[in-house]
Amino acid sequence: MRDATTRLETVSGGPVRAITGTTRFIRYAFMPNRLRYCGGDDNRTLFDYALAMVREPPLEQMLARFTGALPYLRLIARENGIPDPFDERVVEAYWIGNELLERVEARQLYDALDERFGKQLSPRLRALVLGKAPAGARPHHTFHVFDVHARVGELEHSLETMDQCRISWGRVRAVDGAELVVDRQPLVLVDGKLALGPAETVRVTRQVDGRGFADAAQPGELVSLHWGWVCEVLTPHQQVTLARYTAHHLALANQTL
């Protein structure tokens, strides 16, 4: 059973444990942080905190360095009357998606984007990025990947970068040591538009030094992926929700390609 701020998970067939929002955040932020795309220089410590499912004051300081995601978390939390931006529901909304996104009004997203990016963008790019809010954008990671990264120059913009940076999903075919073999749909261009292609069988990393966040994943299960890293096992409902927000923001991005 799940309460307001945590969910329960069986870890490697062991006892059920409560997952905090900070733990889930690190599951998704771990690999881009390891690759030095975001956050500070605390990758191993963050990894240990997430494995232990512990939240302490030193962790709060480390997470404050994730300046790409944190403004979205704060916006989602504020517009839903949730004091903690690392509430588990807020973290799930940003990375995967849930009903909290629908309670963020277009005006609030517009203002947040303007405050954050307005001064660094040309008038044309400012209008393009901010215009996505009234067009239906949500403060979801896919929106940031498909429509913001490309405009603000945070990473080299390419199809491969977008494909690795978005949160994707795969169905496990096999477990092979520190890797999983999964069926995953890649991001492709079709007639100049972004789309998800037919599923391909790929290898993804599930463990570092024999430890990971989805050690109990079994063939047939769904897992979420970020920069080739297995973040966690998804429920069917979470996968459907992630797919829906991905499709929504792909369509939105295609309006201005």
* Residue for token pair 């993804």: 204
Instruction: Say if residue 37 is in the same domain as residue 125.
Output: yes
pLDDT of residue 172: 98
Instruction: Say if residue 110 is in the same domain as residue 202.
Output: no
DSSP states of the chain: ---SS-EEEE-TTS-EEEEPHHHHHHHHHHHHHHTTSSS-S-HHHHHHHHHHT---HHHHHHHTT-TTTHHHHHHHHHHTT-S-TT-HHHHHHHHT--GGGGGS-HHHHHHHHHHHHGGGS-HHHHHHHHTTTTTT--SSHHHIIIIIHHHHTSS---HHHHHHHS-EEEEEEEEETTEEEEEEPPEEEETTEEEE-S-EEEEEE--BTTB-S-TT--TT-EEEEETTEEEEEEPHHHHHHHHHHHHHHHHHHHTT-
Give dist(CA 230, CA 234) in Å, integer.
11
**Domain C-terminal end among 104, 119, 152:** 152
β 7-10/16-19 pair status: antiparallel
Instruction: Say if residue 220 is in the same domain as residue 101.
Output: no
pLDDT of residue 221: 98
Residue 113 lies in a domain: yes
**Identity of the amino acid at 175:** V
CA neighbor of 168 nearest in space, from 190, 147, 142, 198: 142
Instruction: Say if residue 101 is in the same domain as residue 134.
Output: yes
CA neighbor of 144 nearest in space, from 28, 22, 46, 40: 28
R_g over Cα of the chain:
18
Residue 245 lies in a domain: yes
Instruction: Say if residue 136 is in the same domain as residue 174.
Output: no
Instruction: Say if residue 128 is in the same domain as residue 219.
Output: no
pLDDT of residue 15: 40
**Domain C-terminal end among 126, 152, 178:** 152
Residues of the chain where predicted confidence (pLDDT) is lower than 70: 1-18, 153-156
- Owning domain of residue 51: 7-152
pLDDT of residue 9: 56
Residue 96 contacts residue 167 (beta carbons within 8 Å): yes
Instruction: Say if residue 171 is in the same domain as residue 148.
Output: no
Instruction: Say if residue 119 is in the same domain as residue 46.
Output: yes
Residue 1 lies in a domain: no
**Domain C-terminal end among 101, 128, 152:** 152
**At a CB cut-off of 8 Å and minimum separation 6, what does 30 contact?**
43, 46, 47, 50, 213, 229, 231
Instruction: Say if residue 45 is in the same domain as residue 110.
Output: yes
Residue 111 lies in a domain: yes
Residue 160 lies in a domain: no
pLDDT of residue 13: 42
Residue 238 lies in a domain: yes
Residue 157 lies in a domain: no
CA neighbor of 94 nearest in space, from 159, 184, 27: 27
Give 6-63 pLDDT, tens digit per residue: 455 544 444 444 579 999 999 999 999 999 999 999 999 999 999 999 999 999 999 9
Instruction: Say if residue 103 is in the same domain as residue 175.
Output: no
Instruction: Say if residue 109 is in the same domain as residue 179.
Output: no
Instruction: Say if residue 12 is in the same domain as residue 129.
Output: yes
What's CA 224's distance to the chain center, in Å?
9
Residue 174 lies in a domain: yes
Please state the domain count of the chain.
2
pLDDT of residue 200: 98
